[in-house]
């Protein structure tokens, strides 16, 4: 919303959600047409080995970079949670991103990533959804209590901004689930197209509603101050937000294994082309989790990571490859009515990737990682009679 402008951003959010829904269904239709059971096999059948290698690279990059971003989010979030514990100051071990990320990796994300079958994570995914509702409630409450007291930035309410294409990259990062769609499809008790239609519509619709609610609540609170990690915008002394941060960190850790499953399957399909032995399974999981942990310790600008992953991986996986496979596999000429929408998606995806890369270079993200926002510091330096500022930026006393 910060990049696109709130009205246009919401329109783009709905548009990306609709395209995501359509292309997921297109993907499974292509799988049924080619009698294949994975994204990689579908692309190999439709586009040959070059297509197979490309989709394997993209299918690996997207979830792997997502794993890195999840670790970064956990480090940003839980360090602030731990600092609200009495005796844990800025110099304490639990206030160090590297320590928190490493602990979360060893104690939570690695054990959750070790099971062989994605269906075993059903209860973990349910917990993540419940936590998401709690986080949304926290953000909505603070939008009502904190938002009116933070002056909006210049051009906060314009219809559109120049960085709208970059916003599409971030939105694509948020919505993409194509890389694990076949895993989910085959985990259904009755994997039929009609059942998949229901699952897809409900899932994407719910995700769109939750994303729109987060977007409106977060952006209207902070306008141009909004950062890639929304909880970086809140003051550390806010106890309600501390609860939200805890839920957020836990939710992210329970989502991490879903991405690890995909990266492991992709590597298995490319290099092993068979079911992994127990030793190979554990070793590959350890390598992936350790690599993502290491990279998350080296970089801390979450917004740039989401945008780059959206442009390089998510947009091709949502817009380009499902459309290209369907056009290749379906009979009839390219201008047939059934092929019109996939053709438009293919063209739009190419334009978005090229323009998104150019704009990412021209307008890089600025991050203030770990810094207390200026409006929080204002409460500590306000004169004694400044009741408005003190009420604004010490939300825990409200």
Asked whether the whole model's pTM tops 0.85, one would answer: no
Cβ atoms 172, 291 nearer than 8 A: no
Distance CA 168, CA 149 (A): 30
- pLDDT value, residue 368: 56
- pLDDT value, residue 365: 60
Q: Could you report the average pLDDT of every consecutive run of 10 residues in the chain (398 residues)?
A: 92 94 90 86 90 89 89 89 88 89 93 82 81 91 88 89 84 83 85 90 94 92 85 87 93 89 87 85 94 87 72 85 87 71 88 82 63 66 40 40
Q: Which fold has domain 6-397?
A: Amino acid/polyamine transporter I (1.20.1740)
- Angle, in degrees to the nearest 10, between helices 193-222 and 122-145: 30
Sign of CA dihedral 146, 152, 158, 163: negative
- pLDDT value, residue 369: 57
Structure tokens at 296: 């998350």
Q: What is the 3-state secondary structure (H, E, C) of 215-231?
A: HHHHHHHHHHHCCCCHH
For 357, counting Cβ atoms within 10 Å of its Cβ (0-12 exposed, 13-18 middle, 19+ buried), the class is middle
In angstroms, the Cα distances linking 15 to 96, 208, 326 are: 39, 10, 20
For 352, counting Cβ atoms within 10 Å of its Cβ (0-12 exposed, 13-18 middle, 19+ buried), the class is buried
């Amino acid at each position: 919303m910060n990049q696109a402008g709130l009205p246009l951003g919401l329109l783009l959010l709905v548009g990306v959600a609709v395209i995501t829904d359509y292309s997921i269904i297109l993907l499974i239709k292509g799988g049924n047409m080619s009698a294949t059971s994975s994204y990689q096999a579908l692309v190999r059948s439709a586009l040959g080995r070059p297509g197979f290698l490309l989709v394997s690279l993209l299918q690996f990059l997207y979830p792997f970079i997502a794993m890195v971003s999840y670790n970064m989010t956990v480090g940003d979030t839980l360090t602030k949670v731990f600092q609200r514990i009495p005796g844990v100051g800025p110099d304490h071990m639990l206030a160090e991103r590297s320590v928190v990320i490493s602990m979360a990796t060893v104690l939570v994300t690695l054990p959750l990533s070790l099971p062989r079958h994605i269906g075993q994570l059903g209860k973990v995914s349910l917990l993540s959804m419940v936590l998401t509702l709690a986080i949304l409630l926290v953000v909505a409450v603070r939008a009502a209590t904190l938002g009116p007291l933070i002056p909006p930035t210049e051009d906060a309410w314009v219809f559109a901004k120049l960085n709208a294409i970059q916003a599409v990259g971030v939105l694509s990062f948020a919505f993409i689930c194509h890389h694990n769609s076949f895993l989910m499809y085959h985990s259904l008790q009755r994997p039929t197209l009609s059942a998949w239609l229901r699952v897809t519509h409900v899932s994407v619709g719910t995700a769109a509603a939750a994303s729109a609610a987060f977007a409106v609540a977060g952006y209207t609170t902070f306008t141009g101050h909004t950062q890639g990690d929304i909880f970086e915008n809140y003051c550390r002394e806010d106890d309600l937000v501390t609860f939200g941060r805890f839920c957020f960190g836990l939710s992210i850790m329970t989502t991490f294994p879903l991405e690890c499953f995909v990266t492991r399957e992709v590597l298995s399909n490319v290099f092993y082309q068979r079911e992994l032995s127990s030793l190979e399974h554990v070793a590959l999981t350890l390598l992936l989790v350790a690599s993502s942990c290491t990279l998350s310790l080296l970089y801390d600008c979450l917004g740039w990571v989401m945008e780059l992953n959206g442009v390089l991986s998510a947009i091709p996986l949502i817009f380009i490859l499902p459309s290209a496979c369907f056009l290749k596999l379906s009979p009839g000429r390219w201008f047939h009515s059934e092929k019109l929408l996939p053709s438009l998606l293919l063209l739009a995806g190419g334009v978005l990737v090229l323009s998104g890369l150019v704009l990412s270079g021209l307008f890089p993200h600025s991050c203030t990682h770990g810094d207390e926002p200026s409006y929080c510091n204002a409460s500590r330096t306000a004169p004694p009679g400044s009741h408005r500022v003190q009420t604004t930026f010490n939300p825990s006393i409200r």
